[in-house]
């Protein structure tokens, strides 16, 4: 294994941890702003990654993706506990939507910030500058993937939560009731999509976004 390969692995792991841990912390932080102390009281607003590690999403899935030479890495951290009833009571369904989309917003901001710094890190002049460049590129790719992935309206992803609260805000009671019936089967549906060609369609926006924000 070359030095570049080692640098890429370390840069990818670091970028992934910052992306998925920050994603979950933002859910808890926005909920805290609306009066929900659940995540804070359980120490889940900590930046200590150990508090957020999910054995499957943080370790197994990224490792398998890397082993099969997938075009990008993604994963997830342990969900931050949120009392959405408190959030809705204090801020209405708009607040619930904000909490649901907080992680995606974090990922998109982080991707945009890293993308603006990529040209400044090229061409690398040393191993350290090469690591910085690889970290920035991986940060862009991973955060865009996470944002697109979590926008899918499939339970329990953030997109499904935001859609459900938006429907409730609009008074679409029948839609909410019908949508909630899908929730028990969400993970089955999600994994079925991830390992079928349909995932190529749902991940297509990743390529569009990367072409727009990354230098050619």
Residues noted as catalytic: 24
Residue whose tokens read 């940060």: 139
What is the distance between the alpha carbons of residues 92 and 165, in angstroms, rounded to a whole number? Answer: 9
Torsion-angle region of 171 (φ positive above 0: left; ψ -120 to 50: alpha; else: beta): left
Q: Dihedral of CA 156/49/29/73: which sign?
A: negative
Q: Do you find a cis peptide bond into 101, omega within 30 degrees of 0?
A: no
What three-state secondary structure class fits 99?
Answer: helix
Among 50, 61, 88, which residue's Cα sits nearest to residue 187?
61
> How wide is the angle at C-alpha 66 spanned by C-alphas 65 and 70, nearest 5°?
60
């Amino acid at each position: 294994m070359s030095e570049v390969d080692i640098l890429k692995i370390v840069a990818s792991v670091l970028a992934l941890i910052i992306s998925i841990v920050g994603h979950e912390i933002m859910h808890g932080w926005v909920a805290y702003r609306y009066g929900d102390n659940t995540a804070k009281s359980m120490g889940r607003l900590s930046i200590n990654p150990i508090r957020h590690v999910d054995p499957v999403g943080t370790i197994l899935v990224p490792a398998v993706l890397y082993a099969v030479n997938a075009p990008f890495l993604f994963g997830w951290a342990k969900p931050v506990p949120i009392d959405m009833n408190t959030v809705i009571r204090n801020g209405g369904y708009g607040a619930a939507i904000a909490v649901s989309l907080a992680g995606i917003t974090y990922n998109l901001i982080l991707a945009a910030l890293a993308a603006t710094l990529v040209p400044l890190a090229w061409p690398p002049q040393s191993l350290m500058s090469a690591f910085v460049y690889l970290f920035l590129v991986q940060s862009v790719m991973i955060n865009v993937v996470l944002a697109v992935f979590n926008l899918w309206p499939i339970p329990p992803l953030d997109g499904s939560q935001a859609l459900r609260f938006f429907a409730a805000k609009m008074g679409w009671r029948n839609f909410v009731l019908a949508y909630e019936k899908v929730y028990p089967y969400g993970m089955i549906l999600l994994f079925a999509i991830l390992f079928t060609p349909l995932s190529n369609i749902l991940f297509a926006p990743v390529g569009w976004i990367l072409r727009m924000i990354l230098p050619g």
